[in-house]
Homo-oligomer: A and B are copies of this chain.
Amino acid sequence: MSQPSPAVVLLSGGLDSATTLAIAREQGHACHALTFDYGQRHRAELIAAGLVAQRLGAASHRTAVIDLRAFGHSALTDDDIDVPKDRDETDMTDGIPVTYVPARNTIFLSYALALAEVLDSGDVFLGVNAVDYSGYPDCRPAYIAAFQAMAQLATKAGVEGRGVAIHAPLIDLHKTDIIRRGLDLGVDYGLTHSCYDPIPDPGRPTGVRPCGRCDACLIRKHAFEQLGQTDPVLEPSA
Contact = CB atoms under 8 A, between A and B. Distances in A.
Given A64-B70, A103-B117, A117-B103, A142 B137 contact: no
A150 B138 CA distance: 10
Interface in A130-167: 137-138, 140, 142-143, 146-147, 149-156, 158-159
Contacts of A138: 153-155
A85 interface: no
Interface in A87-116: 96, 100-107, 109-111, 113-115
Contacts of A110: 103, 106-107, 109-110
Q: How large is the interface on A (under 10, 10 to 19, 20 to 34, 35 or more residues)?
A: 35 or more
A101 B115 CA distance: 11
A105 to B, nearest CB: 7
Q: Which of A64, A66, A102, A111 has the most CB of B within 10 A?
A: A102
A26 B154 CA distance: 29
A118 interface: yes
A14 B137 CA distance: 34
A67 interface: yes
B158 A137 contact: yes
A36 to B, nearest CB: 9
Given A73-B117, A106-B110, A137-B158, 17 more contacts: A64-B66, A72-B118, A73-B118, A101-B114, A102-B114, A102-B155, A103-B113, A104-B114, A107-B107, A107-B110, A107-B111, A137-B153, A137-B155, A137-B156, A140-B153, A146-B150, A147-B150
8 contacts: A64-B66, A64-B67, A103-B154, A104-B114, A106-B110, A106-B113, A143-B150, A150-B150
